[in-house]
Structure 1
């Protein structure tokens, strides 16, 4: 199995950006570039998921979403992967457990937009995620207040790194999380589908 999975060596810090990427867009690209700059990451892997358990409607075919993601995100330190389909996981906590088993010594950081932090407590085994890996949160338009007031932010307030120390996140022991702002890009996959900009 390892031959078909992305490469990382012990000691590296790898950011993980998961989602349906239906479709991948410039907001994902901006978030990824901000994460690379600010969180002390060696690499970022996009985890293009088979499907999102929180979404009722299924996404476009995985191969279609992978192709779009590869076309829009081109960076020497970013890899587009369908690793969840390959290792047979759908929930983030289980994906992280498998990756930690497959890549001993690699330090993973879970990346998310601030909109996801606002509803993070609805994710399966969300507290296990917080205990497993540091979490990097990148602010997107309209989500700052709801994210900062979220249940997760309140419970883990004492474990939050200040933005000025964001480069330390990749080496921090969990639970640890950091909230950073980035130049605003209000493109969303939902809006692109509604506008017909993404043809399945």
Structure 2
């Protein structure tokens, strides 16, 4: 498999959880495990990014974040990858185009917390992302209502499927998205950094 990506059988559904993971925390673990169940995913890949274009401050070295992610997320169907650093992409749309090109028989689902959906319209080519792959949105503390009424949610309202049908998301054609309510955890990477438990 190119770029040291895990093997995926044709037709399987792979959830992609992107981010700086600076640092990874139990909130990431929880939404990953919930995504596997709610969206009937065969695998989830954490895409540990070189850096977030929307953030002014650069993250900790990627090696540190990869090591922390591998130590924290221990699940046989979850894989930690630095694919974006390897292929040289900084934007989600570019990463998705590349993955779909090299793995055309895999069904990808983009995963995000509800906090990301709130500001999704500020992402580069966000319309294209919605039209490339189904999107699974998982509730995060304090973001349920703002996410449900976000610009992206309103623009793609007709593409939304109900939570009861979340298990078919990976088989749907894009644009298609689903909001899944899950038990709440209050961890955030920002809070961990402020606590001094992670390098600034």
Provide TM-score, normalisation by structure 1: 0.98
Whether 1:20 aligns to 2:31 is: no
| Other-structure match for 1:63 | 63
Q: Is the 8 A contact 1:6 1:81 kept in 2?
A: no
Tell whether 2:146 aligns with 1:152: no
What is the rounded CA distance, in whole Å, between the counterparts of 1:9 and 1:142 in structure 2? 37
Following the alignment from structure 1 to structure 2, what is the Cα–Cα distance between the partners of residues 55 and 83?
A: 20
The count of corresponding residues between Structure 1 and Structure 2 is: 200
Distance 1:140 1:150 in 2: 14
Task: Tell me which residue corresponds to 1:117.
Answer: 117
Q: Distance in 1 between matches of 2:17 and 2:167?
A: 17
TM-score where L is the length of structure 2: 0.98
2:177 matched to which residue of 1? 177
Name the structure 2 match of 1:2. 2
Residues 113 and 140 of structure 1 are in contact (CA less than 8 Å); yes or no, is this contact kept in structure 2? yes
The runs of 5 or more residues in structure 2 that have no matched partner are none
Counterpart position of 1:164: 164
2:187 is matched with 187
SS at match of 1:93: helix
1:89-129 deviation line (CA, Å, top 9, x unaligned): 11000000000001011000000000000000000000000
2:32 maps to: 32
**Alignment-derived partner of residue 83 in structure 2:** 83
Superposition RMSD in Å? 1.0
